[in-house]
Every structure is written in structure tokens, then in C-alpha cells.
Amino acid sequence: MKKRAKILLIYTGGTIGMIKDYDTGALKAFNFDELLQNIPELKILEHEIDTLSFDDPIDSSNMNVECWVKVAHTINDSFETYDGFVVLHGSDTMSYTASALSFMFENLTKPVIFTGSQLPIGDLRTDAKENLITSIQIAGLQKNGKPVISEVGLYFEYKLYRANRTTKINAEHFQAFASLNYPPLAESGVYLSVNHNALWRPNRRQKTKLHTGFSNEVLILKIFPGINAATVEYMLSKPGLKGVVLETYGSGNAPSDDWFLDILKRKILEGLFVVNITQCIGGSVVMGQYETSVQLKKIGVVSGKDISTEAAVAKLMYLLGKELSPKVFKTIFETSLRGEMS
Ligand code: ASP
């Protein structure tokens, strides 16, 4: 007989479980039990589902490194008990948390599926039910007794994506996420069709290993026409700053003015890690393709290739937590660790 998959459903907060505060008109997180009562369908799913909620569910705008680690520990503590995990999370910072989790779990051998919704589960037109039910089904997919998905995924509006490839692209549409540099891992229609060629393949002979050391001494510097020396100098002089995600134009291009390159060069020599990623939501940094990126490469800027902003921030925090030498940092950052870059 086919074994029923055991799934742990973890509720961190987000619109999916919110209700309207009639005094202020704003959405706020509410009780997980009430959320469950709104989904009687859970009882008829073929899988065995246990649930667990953060004591104080949060809007994902309040997520931070401690919360990421809390989610990771929750999964890790019951890793052997369950076949898969579904994390309910606000959509606003879901791509950041899910990317961070992907780096935290080395050689992940089970599915960790993030989902949420644009409308609360109690709303008549909600997108929450489909997102939640299909996420559970995806987390429970098995072949020959092994999970089909063995990575951190993000399921939203009929598509399962590799989580560390996603970006929230729309604050209103049900299709709130995109993954421009990597195809969906699965699509849900009449059939749930899995794109097997796109899946991450862990080494099943080795155990999953948890890493929780992160450094949040980072910032994102998005350049724009007109940015001046004082601004760049001020931002990169923040005491304690260890790493910068430099959001450049197109394929990794930035001003070629001496002042810009001089500041960057000095900061890199002083030990700052600078990663070049593109402001575009698709495509890749190719340093050296244009004259405006040749110097960046020469002064030691690291290439983020086609990584998303969310995954770049998470990867930077993760690698800074490991206190690597500049040379090793560059080599590892420019290598795909969890399928986050091509
Ligand atoms: N503000 C909400 C959050 O990220 C939005 C959502 O859940 O979709 O928690």
C-alpha cells in the first residue's frame, strides 16, 4: 500500500492567516486555529498533517535573521519525523526567508515548500486555499519511497519555483512571484506536472546539514544616475559593515568615474566584500562585457552572475558568517551552492 506522507505545516504569519482590524481597517495576524478552521479540506487530504505556529505570527516585513533561524530549527528539530515541510509565510519577504533557508540546509534531502497568499484565507475570493493545498501535495510527492522535491521551493499561483530564484513582482496580482532566470519546478493544472530536469538532486548517501551562522552587517547599494561621491562614501563607511550587494545596471555596469571606482577600491582593500548583481529581474552580470564594468572586475568586485537580489543578500549574510578570506569568499560566492545561480 502507498505510504501516506507526513507533513509538518509551519505558520509564521502573513496575509494568509490575517483578519481585518475593524478599528483601523488594517490587516493583522490572527490565531492559527482559526486559520485551520477555514480549511476543512485539510482533513480530506491523503497526507498526514501536523501543524505548528509561531507564538506571535508576524507580517513578513518584521522577519529578521533570528526568525529565519527559528524556522530552520523548527524544521531541523523534526527533520527525521516528517517527509516534507510547508512554511506559511507573508509574501513580502518570502523570497528572502526561503533563500536564506536554502543556504542554511546543505544537501537538503526533503522538500521545504514556502507559500502564502495575496488575500486572507477567510476571504471569499482567496488564493490561499489553492496555494496551501497544492503546496502540501507537492511536499508529499514521493517516488519509490523518496521525496520527489528535495530543495527549498516556493509555490504560488499554480507554479512551484526554486525559492532562491524568486522575486516578488506584484503587490496585487495573484501571480505575485517570478523566476526569470530559472524555469518552474512544477506547474499545477488538471495534473501536477513536475519538471524533473530542473530539480535539485541531493546526495542521498549524505545527511542534511544545518548552518545557522549569518552576519547582517550588509547593505544593498542600488546605483542610479546622479548618485554622488558623498552618498557612496557615507554608505560604505558604516562602522562594522562587512558586505555590500551592489545593484548595477544591465549586465553589471556602473559609472566609470574615478571617484566611484576609487571609493570602491579603497573599501575593498580595507576588507569590504562587494558583490555585483543586476537591477534587472532577469539576465546576468558579465563583468568585462562593457567598458563600464571592466574596472569593477579589476578592483576585486565579485560577480553575482544571474543571482536575484534576495538570494544575493541571503548568500552574502551566510558566507560572511563563515569568516572566509577574500579569495575563498570570491570563489564560493561565484559558485552555485544551491542552484541559486547558473
Ligand atoms: N504584508 C504581508 C506579509 O508579507 C503580505 C502577504 O502576506 O502577502 O506578511
| Domain assignments of the chain as residue spans, ordered by start | 6-210, 218-333
Atom of ligand 1 at shortest range from CA of 15 = 7
How far apart are the CA of 66 and the centre of ligand 1, in A?
Answer: 18
Q: How far is the CA of 97 from the centre of ligand 1 (A)?
A: 13
Average pLDDT, integer, range 171-181: 97
C-alpha cell read off for 89: 509565510
pLDDT of 2 reads 64
As a whole number, mean pLDDT of residues 202-215 equals: 97
Tell me, what DSSP letter sits at residue 111?
-
What is the distance between the alpha carbons of residues 5 and 83, in angstroms, rounded to a whole number? 6
User: 66-69: long-range contacts at Cβ-Cβ below 8 A with a sequence spacing of 24 or more?
Assistant: 67/12, 67/97, 68/97, 68/100, 68/101, 68/104, 68/214, 69/104, 69/212, 69/214
Say which amino acid occupies 46: E
Q: 126: CA distance to ligand 1 center in Å?
A: 14
Determine contact, residues 142/5, Cβ cutoff 8 Å. yes
DSSP letter (8 states) at residue 17 = G
Ligand 1: which atom is nearest the Cα of residue 60? 9
Q: Which residue has the higher pLDDT, 54 or 38?
A: 54
- What is the residue with the minimal CA distance to atom 3 of ligand 1? 90
Pair 303, 285: CB distance under 8 Å:
yes
Q: How far is CA 311 from the centre of its chain?
A: 6
Q: What is the distance in A from the centroid of ligand 1 to the CA of 315?
A: 23
Radius of gyration of the chain (CA): 21
Angle, alpha carbons 253-254-258 (nearest 5°): 135
Distance CA 117, CA 127 (A): 6
CATH match for 218-333 among 3.40.50.40, 2.40.33.10, 3.20.20.80, 3.40.50.300:
3.40.50.40
Cα(30) to ligand 1 centroid in Å equals 13
C-alpha–C-alpha distance, residues 88 and 10, integer Å: 6
Q: Which ligand 1 atom minimizes the distance to the CA of 18?
A: 7
pLDDT mean over 290-310: 94
Q: What is the pLDDT of residues 6-34, one digit of tens each?
A: 999 999 999 998 877 778 888 877 667 77
Mean pLDDT of 128-138: 96
pLDDT reported for residue 39: 82
The answer to whether 183 and 75 have CB atoms below 8 angstroms apart is no
3-state secondary structure of 276: strand
Exposure b/e, 132-144, CB count within 10 A at least 16 = b: bbbbbbbbbbbee
C-alpha cell at 285: 552580470
User: Per-residue pLDDT averaged across 169-185, rounded?
Assistant: 97
Give the lowest-confidence range in 31-40, 61-70, 159-168, 182-191.
31-40
- 6-210 and 218-333, same CATH topology: yes
Residues with CB under 6 A from ligand 1: 13-15, 59-61, 90-92, 116, 118
For residue 58, give the ligand 1 atom closest to its CA: 9
Res 24: pLDDT:
85
Nearest CA to ligand 1 atom 8: 91
* Pairing of the two strands 142-143 and 105-106: unpaired
Among 312, 305, 289, smallest CA distance to 103 is for 312
Please provide the average confidence, as pLDDT, over all residues in the chain.
95
Separation CA 313–CA 61 (nearest Å): 15
Q: What is the mean pLDDT of residues 101-130?
A: 95
Closest CA to 85 of 107, 113, 105, 59: 113
pLDDT band (50, 70, 90) for residue 327? very high
With pLDDT > 70 as the criterion, what percentage of the chain qualifies? 99
> What pLDDT score was predicted for residue 59?
94
Residues above pLDDT 90, as percent of the chain: 86
pLDDT > 60? residue 254: yes
Q: Say whether pLDDT at 51 is over 80.
A: yes
Q: Give the other-Cβ count within 10 Å of 264's Cβ.
A: 23
Residues in the chain: 342
CA distances from 247 to 140, 252, 259, 284, 306 (A): 38, 8, 18, 12, 12
Least confident of 21-30, 105-114, 161-170: 21-30
Which of 296, 220, 218 is CA-nearest to residue 252? 296
**What is the DSSP secondary structure assignment for residue 273, as one 8-state letter?**
E
Does 1 have pLDDT greater than 60?
no
What integer is the mean pLDDT of 269-297? 94
Is pLDDT at 325 greater than 60 in this prediction?
yes
Amino acid 202: pLDDT: 97
pLDDT at residue 123 tops 80: yes
**What letter represents residue 87's amino acid?**
V
Amino acid identity, position 55: D
Q: Looking at the annotation, which residues are catalytic?
A: 15
pLDDT (0 to 100) of residue 29: 73
> Looking at residues 47-66, what average pLDDT do you find?
94
Task: Write the class of the CATH domain 6-210.
Answer: alpha beta
Q: Given pLDDT bands bounded at 50, 70 and 90, which one contains residue 292?
A: confident
